[in-house]
């Protein structure tokens, strides 16, 4: 956070109990890590401030979330002024968009209601704390581009909005078969034998956060190797080459480098090692970016902020054919899920990448019926979103919130996932 921002913003963050899953390195909540903010409302695009009040915002596109009875009107002056009012819950935030198709940035004035939750989600609630603000925010836009995405804030600031710059990455020309003609649905697993429960379903690919399958998997599934982190580089090249010779056409880069309990890397370090260990396979397979969390913030860098810094550090030299990312939150937050997917699509596009893979997603709270509803709507959304090439729910296992019963058969969540 900049000195200006830190002097005017107070961010409240409360942590809650981390969820326990097998193999700590394979789940973002297990083992702790920094709290991060989760935004609610209409947030999408790089203009979405992720409810941290980060100054300056990294782009110029905005949508104002408007409370009932609020007046938000466009004017001819390129200034956005909003008054942030406290709200009781995220459900009270409605949406009102403004856009401009000329070379000038429109201005908007009015009173809007915005809410945000901070902290690591827990089993007992959507999020761990709620932050309110009644302070005015003035934003001065310096851009000649059209405006039409999203901004939310919970704190006071008077700032200059900077247009985002993108790093160009080369597009792969691998000879692999495109997955567009097959199912997007994938399987994340620790135990290969459990995958047999999905025989005959629409699942088309699988991965296990490792460089080799660690068992026999169905010939109907493409196994996708991952270079999990720097401690996994030994033997990576041979394992990746072996997988490719056996039919793998995609490779996954580092797992959650923006999280201290996972592969934990600075963007520059990740870029350097991506170039060294992934780039050599550019003419043999399509390569993913490091898989980011849905965290937000700049201290430490997380989520999309980390991704943008990674591409900047790459300097156009990293071979990235699709952006990989993760999402976890309450089953009730399907709107937030959809918004975040679009945020990542927009971030990928701004960095020259047209496809995304959601390689982990899951819920942190909700009844079985609520999770079934979430899975049903989420997979329908992912299947209908052209930029989403593949996705994988967390995970193929017999634990709570996973896809199998204790007998290794599809449970209600698993049935919903493949239906």
Q: In what order do the strands lie in the sheet with 116-118?
A: 37-39, 116-118, 129-131
pTM for the model stands at 0.61
The whole-chain average pLDDT of the chain stands at 69
Q: Is the pLDDT reported for residue 404 higher than 80?
A: yes
State the pLDDT at residue 156: 25
382 neighbors 414 (Cβ within 8 angstroms): no
Partners of 80 in beta bridges: 108, 139
Sequence-ordered alpha helix ranges (H) in 251-302: 267-277
Q: Is the pLDDT reported for residue 52 higher than 50?
A: no
Which tokens in the block code for residue 299? 């201290």
Which residues, other chains included, contact 232 with Cβ-Cβ below 8 Å and sequence gap of 6+? Answer: 210, 211
Q: What is the pLDDT of residues 214-253, one digit of tens each?
A: 999 999 999 999 999 999 999 999 999 999 999 999 999 9
State the pLDDT at residue 159: 23
Give the confidence band of 152 by pLDDT, cuts at 50, 70, 90: very low
Q: Is the pLDDT reported for residue 416 higher than 90?
A: yes
384's enclosing H/E stretch is helix 368-384
Q: What is the pLDDT of residues 2-45, one digit of tens each?
A: 333 333 222 222 222 222 222 333 333 333 332 222 222 333 22
The neighbour count for residue 180, using CB atoms within 10 Å, is 9
3-class DSSP state of 234: coil
Q: Which of 300, 291, 296 is nearest to 270 (CA)?
A: 291
Which tokens in the block code for residue 54? 């980060």
Q: Is the pLDDT reported for residue 339 higher than 50?
A: yes
Please name the fold of domain 179-418: TIM Barrel (3.20.20)
Residue with more model confidence, 312 or 90: 312
Give the confidence band of 136 by pLDDT, cuts at 50, 70, 90: very low
Task: Compute the distance between CA of residue 164 and CA of residue 44 in angstroms, rounded to an integer.
Answer: 15
Strands (E) across 178-274 are located at 185-189, 205-207, 222-223, 250-251
State the pLDDT at residue 246: 97
Q: Is the pLDDT reported for residue 393 higher than 60?
A: yes
State the pLDDT at residue 18: 27
Q: Is the pLDDT reported for residue 398 higher than 60?
A: yes
Which residues, other chains included, contact 190 with Cβ-Cβ below 8 Å and sequence gap of 6+? Answer: 22, 23, 26, 208, 395, 396, 397
362 neighbors 394 (Cβ within 8 angstroms): yes
Which tokens in the block code for residue 405? 């019963």
Q: What is the pLDDT of residues 289-321, one digit of tens each?
A: 999 999 999 999 999 999 999 999 999 999 999
Which tokens in the block code for residue 34? 């920094």
- Give span(s): CATH 3.20.20.80, the chain: 179-418
Question: Beta strand 356-363 with 388-396: parallel, antiparallel or unpaired?
Answer: parallel
Question: Any idea which residue has 């679009």 for tokens?
Answer: 342
Task: Compute the distance between CA of residue 161 and CA of residue 397 in angstroms, rounded to an integer.
Answer: 45
Q: Is the pLDDT reported for residue 129 higher than 80?
A: no
349's enclosing H/E stretch is helix 334-350
């Amino acid at each position: 956070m900049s000195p200006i921002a830190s002097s005017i913003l107070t961010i409240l963050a409360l942590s809650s109990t981390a969820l326990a899953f097998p193999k700590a390195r394979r789940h973002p909540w297990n083992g702790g890590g920094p709290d991060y903010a989760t935004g609610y409302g209409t947030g999408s695009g790089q203009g979405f401030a992720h409810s941290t009040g980060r100054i300056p915002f990294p782009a110029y596109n905005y949508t104002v979330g408007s409370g009932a009875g609020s007046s938000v009107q466009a004017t001819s002056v390129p200034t956005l002024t909003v008054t942030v009012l406290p709200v009781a819950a995220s459900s009270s935030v409605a949406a009102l968009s403004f856009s401009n198709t000329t070379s000038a940035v429109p201005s908007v004035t009015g009173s809007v209601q915005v809410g945000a939750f901070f902290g690591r989600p827990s089993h007992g609630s959507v999020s761990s704390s709620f932050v309110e603000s009644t302070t005015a925010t003035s934003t001065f836009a310096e851009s000649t581009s059209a405006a039409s995405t999203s901004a939310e804030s919970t704190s006071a600031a008077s700032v200059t909005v900077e247009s985002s710059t993108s790093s160009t990455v080369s597009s792969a020309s691998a000879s692999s078969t495109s997955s567009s003609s097959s199912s997007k649905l994938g399987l994340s697993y620790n135990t290969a034998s459990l995958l047999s429960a999905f025989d005959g379903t629409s699942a088309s690919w699988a991965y296990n956060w490792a460089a080799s399958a660690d068992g026999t998997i169905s010939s109907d599934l493409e196994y996708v190797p991952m270079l999990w982190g720097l401690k996994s580089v030994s033997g990576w090249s041979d394992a990746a080459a072996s997988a490719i010779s056996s039919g793998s056409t995609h490779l996954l880069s580092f797992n959650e480098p923006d999280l201290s309990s996972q592969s934990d890397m600075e963007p520059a370090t990740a870029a350097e090692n991506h170039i060294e260990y992934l780039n050599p396979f550019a003419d043999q397979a399509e390569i993913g970016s490091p898989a980011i969390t849905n965290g937000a913030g700049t201290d430490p860098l997380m989520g999309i902020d980390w991704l943008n810094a990674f591409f900047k550090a790459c300097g156009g030299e990293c071979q990235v054919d699709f952006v990989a990312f993760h999402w976890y939150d309450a089953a009730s937050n399907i709107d937030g899920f959809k918004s975040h997917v679009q945020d990542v699509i927009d971030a990928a596009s701004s960095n020259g990448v047209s496809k995304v893979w959601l390689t982990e997603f899951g819920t942190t709270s909700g009844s079985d019926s609520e999770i079934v509803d979430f899975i049903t709507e989420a997979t329908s959304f992912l299947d209908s979103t052209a930029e989403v090439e593949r996705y994988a729910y967390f995970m193929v296992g017999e634990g709570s919130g996973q896809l199998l019963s204790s007998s290794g058969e599809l449970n209600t969540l698993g049935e919903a996932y493949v239906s």
